[in-house]
């Protein structure tokens, strides 16, 4: 019996991939739903002779793109993208979101900012009335202690993200620490996003609240 969540993710990924047109440069997010989109893009490259370039947001995504036969490029060569496809951990009715369970949120935000259109693929379980998940924050290792103090002053409960199959902290693809900081219900996502980013030593956080106008949310299994 098929898993309905997996099928919803596959549906969302395929629908996003079918938005890509010949000649586009596409940001490729990180995570299982995006990988379904990448699988579909690989199929279209082979069957339709689709010509595209992808900009990966993580080493994992780059490896998967190579597996699917998606040619890769960089933001240096293509600083403006046609669209970016990515997932999310929570999305509210105003299309504000929390991302970063895969610790790629800093590169994902850079790529989303560079794109004309930000296509977010989720299953229905990621829809929420209000954002309340812990916020992933990428931190310069040198500044870890002072960042933790400042996050506590903001009312957060910061916790270092530790590895599952290795001892010690998770290290991002950029060589930094990742802190997961719980704030409870986030009444002002844009304000909190700005406040966290203003802390010296913070390189980026997983609240995406300032690109809603160009965001399209595709919920798998729902037309």
pLDDT in tens, 93-151: 999 999 999 999 999 999 999 999 999 999 999 999 999 999 999 999 999 999 999 99
**Cα→Cα distances 58→30, 54, 179, 212, 213, Å:** 7, 12, 18, 23, 25
Q: Which residues are catalytic?
A: 108
Split into its structural domains, the chain has a count of 2
Domain co-membership, 124 together with 158: no
Based on the domain organization, do 124 and 200 belong to the same domain? no
Percentage of the chain modeled with pLDDT above 90: 94
Q: Both 115 and 144 in a single domain?
A: no
Do 82 and 150 belong to one domain?
Answer: no
Mean pLDDT over the full length of the chain: 96
Confidence of residue 63 (pLDDT cuts 50, 70, 90): very high
Cα angle 41, 86, 121; round to 5: 85
Write down the pLDDT at residue 20: 98
What does the pLDDT average to over 65-85? 98
The rounded distance, in Å, linking the Cα atoms of 106 and 103 is 8
Tell me the binding residues for substrate: 30-33, 86-89, 99-102, 126
CATH, residue 46: 3.40.50.1360
Q: What is the pLDDT of residue 148?
A: 98
Mean pLDDT of 3-8: 91
Annotated binding site: 30-33, 86-89, 99-102, 126
Does 146 lie in the same domain as 97? no
Q: What is the mean pLDDT of residues 147-159?
A: 98
- pLDDT for 65: 97
Do 148 and 201 belong together in one domain? yes
| Claim to verify: residue 79 and residue 9 sit in the same structural domain | yes
Instruction: Indicate whether 140 and 188 sit together in one domain.
Output: yes
Same-domain check for residues 50 and 96: yes
| For residues 35-39, average pLDDT | 97
The 3-state DSSP composition of the chain as helix, strand, coil percent (nearest 5) reads 35, 25, 40
Q: Running DSSP on this structure, what letter comes out for residue 154?
A: T
Give pLDDT, residue 164: 86
Average pLDDT score over residue span 177-204: 98
Query: What's this model's pTM, rounded to 2 decimal places?
Result: 0.95
Tell me, what's the pLDDT at 1? 63
C-alpha dihedral (91, 97, 102, 103), degrees to nearest 10: -170
Which has the minimum average pLDDT: 88-97, 156-165, 196-205?
156-165
Residue 193 lies in domain: 135-206
């Amino acid at each position: 019996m098929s898993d309905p969540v997996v099928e919803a993710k596959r549906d969302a990924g395929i629908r996003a991939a079918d938005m890509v047109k010949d000649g586009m440069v596409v940001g490729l997010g990180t995570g299982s739903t995006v990988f379904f989109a990448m699988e579909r893009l690989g199929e279209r490259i082979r069957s339709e002779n689709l010509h595209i370039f992808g900009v990966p947001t993580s080493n994992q995504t780059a490896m998967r793109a190579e597996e699917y036969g998606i040619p890769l490029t960089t933001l240096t060569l293509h600083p403006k993208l046609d669209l970016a496809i990515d997932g999310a951990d929570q999305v509210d009715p105003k299309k504000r979101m929390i991302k970063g369970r895969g610790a790629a949120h800093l590169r994902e935000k850079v790529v989303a900012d560079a794109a004309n259109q930000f296509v977010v693929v989720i299953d229905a379980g990621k829809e929420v009335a209000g954002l309340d998940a812990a916020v992933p924050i990428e931190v310069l290792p040198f500044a870890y202690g002072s960042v933790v103090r400042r996050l506590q002053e903001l009312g957060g409960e910061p916790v270092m993200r530790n590895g599952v199959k290795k001892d010690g902290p998770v290290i991002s693809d950029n060589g930094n620490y990742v802190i997961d900081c719980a704030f409870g219900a986030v009444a002002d996502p844009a304000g909190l996003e700005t406040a966290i980013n203003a802390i010296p030593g913070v390189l980026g956080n997983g609240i995406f609240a300032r690109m809603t106008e160009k965001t399209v949310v595709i919920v798998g299994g729902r037309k």
